[in-house]
Amino acid sequence: MRCLLALALLLSACPAPTQYAVDRPGLDCDRATRVANKTFEAMGYTVTGLVQATPNSSGMVSGTKVGPDGKAKSGRVIIRCTPQGADLQPVEEGLVPGDFEFSRAFGYSFKTLVQRPDVETPWKNVGLQVLVEQVGTFKAKLDLGDVATVGGAVPVRVTVRNNTDRKVRLDVPRLSLVDADGTSREPLSGSSLDAAIAGNAAGSKLRAELFGPKPIAAQQSAVGFLIYPPGTYREARVAIEDLETEESEGFVVPVE
């Protein structure tokens, strides 16, 4: 009986055939893990586990999502690095993997995303461009080395690209995030901000990269973090000041 149980557990996860493995010569461990994480998110999966791949040890990304039929689906990818590049092996969960739908979708999405830059272009192509990204637990581990906040506080990365001929400034206190209930939250400041930042190396890095009031020159960009109260946010209300006219432009962008 014990042998049969062990065999069932062993078979409960099935590596896809080698034809579904993704072999990327020249791809380093760090970027392979980043793009794998981004691929799960692009496929609509909630990432539930992440282990950074290194030259000496395999990495892993796993996730789940609810399909159109209401049933939960799960998938996992093992990441191995060699001096030649990275190899990503999808693993189908369940005793009967079926048509390897997850493996096929992962391979297609990964090969598309790996060709794009890690820093995405904001939502507009001309003028003032703004990108607001909520940095979840696993993304924080990739970008900052560890979880950088405490008490459920939400770090957000803000990118502003000033493709105009004027000097501008992001009005940080007025950059509010709106949750699913329509509640608006402003970024933490003062003692609330200090209390939300973790006392580790990731917290120190986050603090050093907070978005400040420094002007953004014409044709220049600025990137930094803001921290918000716990919540799941869907859109950001942004105000950017033209320093010459002292007028502000307000608009709404999605929270990625």
Write out pLDDT tens, residues 104-138.
889 888 888 888 766 555 544 457 888 999 998 88
Place of tokens 């004027």: 166
Q: Is residue 4 part of a domain?
A: no
pLDDT in tens, 31-85: 899 899 889 988 888 888 888 888 889 999 999 998 888 888 888 999 999 888 8
Q: Is the pTM of this model over 0.75?
A: no
Position 148 scores a pLDDT of: 95
Domain that holds residue 77: 11-113
> CA-CA distance, 103 to 58, in Å (whole number)?
18
Residues 150 and 91 in one domain: no
Query: Which residues make Cβ contacts (< 8 Å) with residue 94, sequence separation at least 6?
Result: 12, 13, 14
Q: Is residue 233 part of a domain?
A: yes
What are the CA-CA distances from residue 21 to residues 54, 90, 123, 199, 201 (Å)? Answer: 18, 6, 33, 40, 35
Query: Which residues make Cβ contacts (< 8 Å) with residue 166, sequence separation at least 6?
Result: 218, 242, 243, 244
Taking residue 234's Cβ as centre, other Cβ atoms within 10 Å add up to 14
- Beta-strand ranges (E) seen in 26-109 are 46-51, 59-66, 72-82, 85-93
Q: Is residue 174 part of a domain?
A: yes
